Amino acid sequence: MPTSTGYPLHRSEIYDELERGDLNILRAMLPSERLFDRGESILIGGEPHDYVYRIRTGWAARVRHIEDGRRQLITIFLPGDLCAVKCLLMNRQPDAIECVTPVTAHFIQQAELRTLARLDPDVALRLMFQLGEDERRLHNWVAVLGRGDADEAMATLMLDLRARLRLVGLANGNTFKLPMTQQQIGEHLGLTVVHVNRVLRRFRESGVLTVTKSIVTVHSSQKLRQLASPMLDVFEKTSPAYNSD
């Protein structure tokens, strides 16, 4: 299994440094491993935290809890993703990171990683790249939430998950595992469960894709891309991970 989700859009002149940095981080983390249950919090909003993680198996999410019970899943973490990098720099941060499924993760003490970054510019660059890549995804998601309608948002999410899972070898062809409840999908898309359900029904009825028992089957990549198209950025429109069927 690949160790990272790749370096989409990276500047080619820094590829070698990124690879070395990635390897060095992975090496420093390898001895450690921790198991989290489904629903367990890897870190809790508002509290300081001392570790940085790399998800090995399972899905997690950055979750914003709003006082009146509303929730927003801000980011989905898949295997290979580094998470809580931001905590290297901030002494606390408002969001929790919660496990969508059981999760196994390698981890490293922040202080140690900071030292590593200080001694090894490749590591610093790799961390910077992770932050940049997270930012890129967030930019996309802001555009989706701000300007997309429900169909566009759902289609974009599905394409994005499929592409990312392909990069780490967890999806091939037209099928992938989606271990999120419709409630959680709604909390990520800014929709209610009820509406998520209706959108999925329409997708099913119009032959776009089917979700059964946490398995997504894409029946028409072409239709799916067409639905998501306005929300895809220039890069995604030409990336093989998005476009191959």
Partner DNA sequence: CGGGACGTTGACCTGGATCAAAAATTGTGG
Partner DNA sequence: CCACAATTTTTGATCCAGGTCAACGTCCCG
User: In this structure, what token pair is assigned to residue 58?
Assistant: 């399972």
Nearer Cβ to its own copies (123/218): 123
Q: In what order do the strands lie in the sheet with 34-36?
A: 34-36, 103-109, 51-57, 82-83
What residues contact 169, with CB distance under 8 A and at least 6 apart?
1, 2
CA distance 144 to 129: 23
**Footprint on this chain of its own copies (rule: CB under 8 A):** 9-12, 14, 45-46, 62, 64, 66-68, 70-72, 74-75, 85-86, 88-95, 114, 117-118, 121, 124-125, 127-129, 131-136, 138-143, 145-147, 187-190, 229-231, 233-235
CA distance 57 to 78: 8
Nearer Cβ to its own copies (12/212): 12
116 is an interface residue for DNA by CB under 7 A: no
Residue 170 DSSP class: S
CA distance 184 to 196: 10
Residue type, 70: R
Out of 8, 19, 150, 239, point to the residue binding DNA (CB under 7 A): 150
Residues 44-83, interacting with DNA (CB under 7 A): none
219 is an interface residue for DNA by CB under 7 A: no
Out of 1, 13, 91, 213, point to the residue binding DNA (CB under 7 A): 213
3 is an interface residue for DNA by CB under 7 A: no
Instruction: Tell me how long the chain is.
Output: 245
Nearer Cβ to DNA (203/242): 203
Which residues of the shown chain bind DNA in the complex (CB under 7 A)?
149-151, 181-183, 190-195, 197-198, 200-201, 211, 213-214
